[in-house]
């Protein structure tokens, strides 16, 4: 069960946004990621609980940030309920999309798991619903993912396979690289792995 923490920062001006302390693990029905977030002062700022089925589809998502909460799942595309800080108003949403995304590293792993790309495959288009910080406002985005490189590194424990993805935002053409090893993000825009207590899990 990988456990550690990421540092988060604004990918454009590198303003520190805090840390995300996580643990995750594959299970008999898929994969689950649970994390707690703190802001740069160390105060609790949110949480993530994401569970995928064996095909990489989100069967349960719960996000909390700034007293806002989102619960969602892959139902008729993706469906979610967003609750305001007072708890008196809840809005429902449904979009014919493949999955969810957001600032948590969990969503990069989840998208890669859903697409299951191979190095020789062409780029794959995916539609996602992004929940933007700090109020978890939903926004539909279209991306293109391609697995451009796969390298295996020798370590003291076991070989470590690192996948490099090229992700393109189809509305702006902006491209960036994401480096994953199993169910851990090694680096991505706005995300740095600061500590990892146990090796990444290896997906079948």
Ordered by start, the domain boundaries in the chain are: 3-198
Question: Per residue in 124-139, pLDDT tens?
Answer: 999 999 999 889 999 9
Question: Per residue in 29-79, pLDDT tens?
Answer: 899 999 999 999 999 999 999 999 999 999 999 999 988 999 999 999 999
The rounded distance, in Å, linking the Cα atoms of 107 and 189 is 13
Mean pLDDT confidence for 99-111: 97
Query: Does the reported pTM lie above 0.75?
Result: yes
Question: Per residue in 72-104, pLDDT tens?
Answer: 999 999 999 999 888 788 999 999 999 999 999
- Residues with Cβ within 8 Å of 171's Cβ and at least 6 positions away in sequence, in order, are 141, 142
Residue with tokens 């991306």: 143
77, 94 Cβ separation under 8 angstroms = yes
The rounded distance, in Å, linking the Cα atoms of 131 and 141 is 10
| pLDDT interval class at 153 (50, 70, 90) | confident
The share of the chain scoring above pLDDT 90, in percent, equals 82
| pLDDT interval class at 204 (50, 70, 90) | low
């Amino acid at each position: 069960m990988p456990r550690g923490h990421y540092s988060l920062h604004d990918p454009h001006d590198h303003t520190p946004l805090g840390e995300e302390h996580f643990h995750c693990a594959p299970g008999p029905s898929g994969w689950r990621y649970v994390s707690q977030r703190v802001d740069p002062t160390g105060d609790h700022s949110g949480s993530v609980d994401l569970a995928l089925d064996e095909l990489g589809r989100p069967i349960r998502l719960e996000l909390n940030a700034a007293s806002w909460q989102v619960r969602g799942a892959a139902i008729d595309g993706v469906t979610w309920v967003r609750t305001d800080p007072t708890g008196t108003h809840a809005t429902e949403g449904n979009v014919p999309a493949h999955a969810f995304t957001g600032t948590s590293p969990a969503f990069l792993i989840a998208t890669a798991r859903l697409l299951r790309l191979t190095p020789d495959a062409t780029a794959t288009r995916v539609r996602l619903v992004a929940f933007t910080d700090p109020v978890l406002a939903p926004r539909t985005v279209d991306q293109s993912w391609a697995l451009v490189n796969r390298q295996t590194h020798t370590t003291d424990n076991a070989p470590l396979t690192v996948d490099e993805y090229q992700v393109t935002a189809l509305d702006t053409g902006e491209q960036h690289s994401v480096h994953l090893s199993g169910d851990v993000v090694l680096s991505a825009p706005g995300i740095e792995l600061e500590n990892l207590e146990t090796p990444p899990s290896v997906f079948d």
